[in-house]
Structure 1
Amino acid sequence: MSNRELSHTIQSNLWFTPVIYVFFSFLFVGVALTADFQYELGKHMRPYFSVDYSLTQALVGTLTAAILTLTTFTFNLILLVFTTFSGQFSPRMLKNFIASKSTQRVLGIFTSSFFYMLLCFLFLNKETAQYYFAVPVFATLIAALSMGTFIFFINHAVEWLQVNQMTYDMKKEALSIVKSTLEDEVDPNKVKDLSTINDQSYKSMGLTITARKSGYIQLVDFITMIEEAQKDDIVIRLEYTIGNYVFASTPIITYWKNNAIEIDELKYLSLISIRRKQTEVQDIEFSINKLVEVAIRSIGHYDPKTATNVIYQIGEILASISRESIFSNYLMDESNKLRIILQKRDFNHYLYHGFGYIRHYAKANVIVSTEIIKVLALMAHSLNTRDYKAVWEFGLFTASGFEDHFLYKIDHQQFYQALSNLAVTTRHEKEYEEYWENRKK
């Protein structure tokens, strides 16, 4: 498992942060018991500061049960959030709530507090220490912290359940994947001048490497693969891309050798992570699809406002991809030699995955479809000019399916005004006039 996969796995699990907090609770227990048993801190305090054995036992015992109850209630609240999100939005969004640092820290504080109370209660000894100070004081402070944390968690759950905040967090996650995967890892190695590439010789039959197991391609270590291909002096073509499902024995790599050196095929297989489920580590489409599912569910629940909000979030992601990405499927090494041929991905691909499914499910909803056209027009102000044609054609095809769905004159005006704005922004005024003339016939 690579460092990125390990980091993602740790972040998306509930157990890691609580384990760290429990470890620190053990240290607090050690400090408190040492202060009271070995140094008899309570005897050196003024009488109104020290606490006798019976009061300490009652305090710690009561707080142990109270914090356990509070922790149980918190877990029940998390399950309630999970159920709500699964039914109303998308089950794939649950990981976002689990991966939230606030959620993990809350559970860490509750779990560590319970262990502190439990261990202190276990080691209380009337014969060894008649008067206590550190144990009850720490217990009181930890109980107050737990109560404050519980109030914070209620507020956190309520805020996270708000659709605007939820979709905003998902958009930030998608933008971070765009930056880490496209901008920082892949794009620096892409061939920018395609006229310098002659890939005719790589369209012939090459040697293939087959997958050893079935699953989704979660991650590809492009940088290491380029370095290894440079050492072996080979050119690699990836037959599938991140997010695709492959079967065992499916050829996933084709390579061409420039020498007679024996190639360690397992080395290249180890650079491709195939697991049983999709993740967002490098999969931009998967992170976009989570937003798409929210929009589709919102349309089905007659919630156009949520659908519109999601459409704008997707639009910002697509605009970022257009501005920052180099849509080339060729990766070169530091000597400017071709090393990896990727599956072709252009802006049309991401545009379809972002709005294609929403357009299909909203085909009878003029309001949502009008918002799609408006978002396309807004996106066009931020897009790379090479993608104007793709956005205009997508908007035109969307408009072509709505000639018979207008119930009111205002629907007609709003829709075609948005399409006109899109034509002006993408410099397709002539095509819009032709479309309008054909429609009036």
Structure 2
Amino acid sequence: SFLYTLFVFLFLNSSQVDGYFAIPFATTALSVFSAGTFVYFINHSVKWLQVNHMTQSMKTESIKAIETTIREELEVHRTQSAHNEPFSFPEGEKNPVYIQTSGYIQTVNYSRLIDYAKEHNLVIKMEREVGDYVLDGTILFYYWNRDSAEQDEIDQAIFHRYVHIGKSQTDIQDTTHIITKFVEMAIKSLGSDDFKTAINSIHQISDILRKICDVSQFSSYLVDDSGVVRMVIPDKKFEDFLYDGFANIRHYARRNIIITMELLKTLGNLAEAIGPAYYDDIWEFAVYTSQGFEEEYLFVQDKKYFLHILYDLAISTEKEEQYE
């Protein structure tokens, strides 16, 4: 609007003023619209930069990424039954596939890899996972031919089409990186004594962990449409995600009774939300957090609330005897 007004003043002269009566009206309307847009922009910026709104927006986007990564790309290939015993790989020669460039593994096209493995009767064992930093020449995965008598010629260049390596980590398939963003926010907040932001980040992490439990079976075996295991990925259980989410926060809050109690309270809420299958993992992490607390001197009220929260967690996880 400002540039428009300048051009109007530049090209108008005294002989044209009477003929262009619409120009003042258009200029005024644009100026009012611009002022309104600027006011809206300031209001939106202030609202968006509020901690609750910002973390909520981040969590919403993170949950969408988790839905895509786990439910739509991995769960469709994961086995429906649990494998309690290690997978027996074929006895033939294992063939390595090497990484061709250094960087972060950003995406892996699991569906295309599984289809290719089915087409050539292969079994693939991933040595790296999305989010890992890899160096040129390191091994990405091994593959075996299920039938050593009939081995197709494998063009390893095709494998590299299905794995993308970039200069930075992304949220596309990296669930750990999604959690780490909130962990970093919590740690930086603790460093600046912004406890409200730290507590809010802890709450958002717990909701992300709950979502991961909802959509994942935590199986490392991926099968084709015939139910044959075609890929074995690095084994990552709920306890690993729990450690990724809260271990660093526990470390930096080991002398802060308020944050430690909030962390234990959040673990109790998480236990009630996700069910008995994960009680052992949550209780073990709670014990790890409690024993790692380093403040020797606490007021009576601090001890009272601390033990009360820990007892509530023991009830939620059915660990009353261990609490005693």
Compute the displacement of 1:194 (Å).
3.1
Aligned in 2, Cα 1:142/1:286: closer, same or farther, shift over 3 Å? Answer: farther
SS of equivalent to 1:253: strand
The answer to whether the 8 Å contact 1:322/1:387 transfers is no
Compute the displacement of 1:152 (Å).
1.4
Q: Residue deviations 1:295-341, cap 9 Å, x none?
A: 11111111222211111111111112122211001111111111111
Q: Residue deviations 1:32-63, cap 9 Å, x none?
A: xxxxxxxxxxxxxxxxxxxxxxxxxxxx7xx2
Q: Which has the larger radius of gyration?
A: 1
Compute the displacement of 1:145 (Å).
3.2
Aligned to 1:380: 271
Aligned to 2:88: 200
- Alignment partner of 1:254 is 2:142: yes
Question: Aligned partner of 2:145: which letter?
Answer: K
Aligned to 1:292: 183
The answer to whether the 8 Å contact 2:126/2:232 transfers is yes
Aligned to 2:244: 353
Whole-angstrom CA distance in 2 between matches of 1:243 and 1:348: 18
Question: Which of 117, 120, 127 lines up with 1:229 in the alignment?
Answer: 117
Whole-angstrom CA distance in 2 between matches of 1:272 and 1:354: 26
Aligned to 1:238: 126
Compute the displacement of 1:147 (Å).
2.4
Whole-angstrom CA distance in 2 between matches of 1:321 and 1:255: 29
Compute the displacement of 1:385 (Å).
2.1
Aligned in 2, Cα 1:140/1:280: closer, same or farther, shift over 3 Å? Answer: farther
Aligned in 2, Cα 1:274/1:251: closer, same or farther, shift over 3 Å? Answer: same
Question: Aligned partner of 1:229: which letter?
Answer: A
Question: Aligned partner of 2:120: which letter?
Answer: D
Q: Residue deviations 1:193-251, cap 9 Å, x none?
A: 13498622259861011111000011111122222222222111111111100001111
Aligned in 2, Cα 1:132/1:224: closer, same or farther, shift over 3 Å? Answer: farther
Whole-angstrom CA distance in 2 between matches of 1:134 and 1:202: 82
Q: Residue deviations 1:381-438, cap 9 Å, x none?
A: 11142211000000011111237534211111111111111111111111111xxxxx
Whole-angstrom CA distance in 2 between matches of 1:266 and 1:122: 63
Whole-angstrom CA distance in 1 between matches of 2:175 and 2:58: 12
Aligned to 1:302: 193
Q: 1 or 2, which has the higher helix percentage? A: 1
Aligned to 2:62: 174
SS of equivalent to 2:273: coil
Aligned in 2, Cα 1:141/1:344: closer, same or farther, shift over 3 Å? Answer: farther
Compute the displacement of 1:365 (Å).
0.5
Whole-angstrom CA distance in 1 between matches of 2:86 and 2:188: 46
SS of equivalent to 2:48: helix
TM-score of the aligned structures, taking structure 1 as reference length: 0.67
The more displaced of 185-194 and 372-381 is 185-194
Compute the displacement of 1:148 (Å).
2.0
Gap regions ≥5 residues in structure 1: 1-59, 65-116, 434-441
SS of equivalent to 1:193: coil
SS of equivalent to 1:309: helix
Whole-angstrom CA distance in 2 between matches of 1:268 and 1:138: 60
Whole-angstrom CA distance in 2 between matches of 1:394 and 1:311: 15
Whole-angstrom CA distance in 2 between matches of 1:196 and 1:388: 19
The answer to whether the 8 Å contact 1:170/1:287 transfers is no
Q: CA RMSD in A?
A: 2.7
Aligned in 2, Cα 1:424/1:134: closer, same or farther, shift over 3 Å? Answer: same
The answer to whether the 8 Å contact 2:62/2:178 transfers is yes
Aligned to 1:318: 209
Using the aligned pairs only, state the percent identity: 35
- Alignment partner of 1:279 is 2:170: yes
Aligned to 1:368: 259
SS of equivalent to 1:167: helix
Aligned in 2, Cα 1:133/1:428: closer, same or farther, shift over 3 Å? Answer: farther
Aligned in 2, Cα 1:196/1:373: closer, same or farther, shift over 3 Å? Answer: closer
Q: Residue deviations 1:342-363, cap 9 Å, x none?
A: 1111001110110000000111
Whole-angstrom CA distance in 2 between matches of 1:299 and 1:252: 37
SS of equivalent to 2:255: coil
Whole-angstrom CA distance in 2 between matches of 1:299 and 1:195: 41
The answer to whether the 8 Å contact 2:202/2:266 transfers is yes
Whole-angstrom CA distance in 2 between matches of 1:161 and 1:169: 11
Structural mapping, 1:40-439, within 5 Å: 63-64=2-3, 117=4, 131-132=19-20, 141-195=29-83, 199-201=87-89, 206-258=94-146, 259-402=150-293, 404-433=295-324
TM-score of the aligned structures, taking structure 2 as reference length: 0.90
